[in-house]
Amino acid sequence: MTQTFTDCEIHGLTESLPSSGRCLKCIAEEIRAAPWPIISRKDAAAQHRKKYFTGKACKFGHVSQRYVKSGMCVACNRERCNSYRRAAAPADGRVPFRARIYEKHRGLIESYILLLEGRTDET
């Protein structure tokens, strides 16, 4: 199986990862700018943390934290959950129940929020 590489949108390099379209230079910049300290999974487990950051990209090119329990990338998990939500949405064009309830009682909900904030409709 041959891998096809695409050009990086920022640097124009051809060594970009096929899944993300970013080159290794982009990924290195992300690692340097990451707001999390680099820590191993073993150390994170010893400190009873839920997430850790290695500074390495996952196999899909995400440079983000990972879960201590599973080792899964947080960005990959987010994409997986979003795909499940899209698949679970009604295919026949119906509006989900929560959205229908919100639309039905929108005025009541908005006036309640204003009341909590200490404002009225006039202000």
Closest-CA residue to 27 (of 57, 72, 71, 59)? 57
pLDDT of 96 strictly over 80 = no
pLDDT tens digits, 44-69: 999 999 999 988 888 888 888 999 99
Written as six digits, the tokens of 40 are 């191993």
- pTM listed for this prediction: 0.51
Residues 6+ apart with CB under 8 A from 9: 21, 22
Q: Express as a percent the part of the chain with pLDDT over 90.
A: 23
pLDDT tens digits, 6-34: 566 666 665 555 555 667 777 777 777 76
